[in-house]
Amino acid sequence: MTQSGYATERDTTEGKVFTVTGGDWDQVVSGIDPLTDERIVVNMGPQHPSTHGVLRLVLELEGETVTEARPVVGYLHTGIEKNLEYRNWVQGSTFVTRMDYLAPLHNETGYALAVEKLLGVEEQITERATTIRVLMMELNRISSHLVWLATTGMELGAISMMLYGFREREYILDIFEEASGLRMNHAYIRPGGVAQDFPESAVKKTREFLKYLPKKLKEYEDMLSGQPIWHERTKGVAVLDVTGCVALGITGPVLRSAGLAWDLRKTMPYCGYETYEFDVPTATTADVWGRYQVRLAEIRESMKIVEQALDRLRPGPVMIQDKKIGWPAQLAIGVDGMGNSLEHVAKIMGQSMESLIHHFKLVTEGFRVPAGQVYVQIEAPRGELGVHAVSDGGTRPYRVHYREPSFVNLQAIPAMAEGALLADVIAGGASLDPVMGGCDR
């Protein structure tokens, strides 16, 4: 053992490291690395702490107090934006739906609106298709908030909430399956309209769900809102005021919980949202409790919009009537799953050789989009979802970039966590509701 009580020291990126070879620990550290100056650097992750995907947080601690927090992303990188450059404009829907996989229909809608704006056909989208888009997006908002409620409940100790939240979400996934054939990653909302009509059976299921959910929401509030532990873990925790939100570009429920009623459905309407009656819930606490209240209220407002959309469903086409753009599909469930109905295929093949060639080229090559660039933004469950689409005049995107709210909102973790307790990092991170598939796209 060396005279000073420790073996050779070495400097690392995280500070000075001592290799202890013997002696009493108090003697070893006294005068060398005082406890008051000691830093503990820990990796929280890479794991899944209520983030719907893999996130790593590098935390510097003094006791249980976080002095520095650094989010590390990239563990779910899929290269979706790059892949879009190698597929035609319609095939892009199949990729973007997989980004934020808890809000696939919002990803699809943002993309479809951007392509339609490049084409200059916004006015040609049928009323029924637009209504179906609103209906599906609001159901998706409810299902996304239910997952947030479920996973955050689990992280903070309310295990029952995990079971109930996913139970109710199943009803919505059943509706999605009835309409599109898939529970997730639907590629249902496409440039020009939607892949197929919203059937009467799905309308019936949706109306049943609207009667079922209010009672369940009341049960959630009875279980959580009056619970002392829930209050302790959420009130005054991970505070980020409106100034901080605006400075960091934070949008969605986190911004609205700080008191700013910024909702693109109201402030910059799209898909006819200006014709629907609904409120924008806000809170003033700017903490986890406020975000909980805002999301519960948003579920109720989305239910109002869904009900109005159901009442507006009028018979009519669900795809643009321009045969140079409209995807020639009439989907049916056959022995091989979901595909074109045999009657539809027979009709196309029986019309004319020109019709068959056009169908073949539209499906394999795709339509051409005039050169230009657009930016379209919509209100996704986590905030502003922006789509910057660039065309060089070909049948494939030159570039598509998403302004993804999960990625932007994650910037708030250091602002909320530093100076707080380690346990509150989980509550604060969960209250952002980040989906790492969208963050790492």
Burial string for 42-69 (b: 16+ CB within 10 Å, else e) reads eebbbeebbbbbbbbbebbbeeeebeeb
Backbone region of residue 33 per phi and psi (left: phi > 0; alpha: psi in -120 to 50; beta: other values): beta
**Per-residue confidence (pLDDT) for residue 119, from 0 to 100:** 92
Kindly report the number of other CB atoms within 10 A of residue 274's CB atom: 10
Query: What pLDDT, on a 0 to 100 scale, did the predictor assign at position 253?
Result: 93
Contact 405, 252 (CB under 8 A): yes
Query: Between vectors from CA 264 to CA 258 and to CA 266, what angle results, nearest 5°?
Result: 95
Q: What is the pLDDT of residue 340?
A: 63
Residues near 209 by beta carbon (within 8 Å), at least 6 away in sequence? 171, 172, 175
**Count of alpha carbons within 13 angstroms of residue 114, beta-carbon side:** 32
Q: What's residue 71's pLDDT?
A: 86
Bridge-based pairing of strands 40-47 and 55-62 is antiparallel
CB 179, CB 216: distance < 8 Å: no
**Which pLDDT value is given to residue 281?**
93
**pTM (predicted TM-score):** 0.85
Per the listing, tokens 């250091």 go with: 414
pLDDT tens for each residue of the chain, 441 residues long:
444 443 455 666 666 665 555 555 455 445 445 445 567 878 887 776 556 778 888 888 888 888 888 888 888 888 899 999 999 998 899 999 999 889 999 999 999 999 999 999 989 899 999 999 999 999 999 999 999 999 898 888 888 999 999 999 999 999 999 888 888 888 899 998 898 889 999 999 999 999 999 999 999 988 888 888 989 889 888 888 999 899 999 999 999 999 999 999 999 999 999 999 999 999 999 999 999 999 999 999 999 999 999 999 999 888 888 877 877 656 555 555 556 666 766 776 776 777 777 777 777 888 889 999 999 999 999 999 999 999 999 999 999 999 999 999 998 888 888 888 888 888 888 899 889 888 888
Question: What is the SS3 assignment for 373?
Answer: strand
Which domains, and CATH codes, for the chain? 9-72 (no CATH), 80-326+367-439 (1.10.645.10)
Residue 39: the pLDDT is 73
Helices (DSSP H) in 156-199: which residue ranges?
159-180
Q: Which residues pair with 44 in a beta bridge?
A: 57
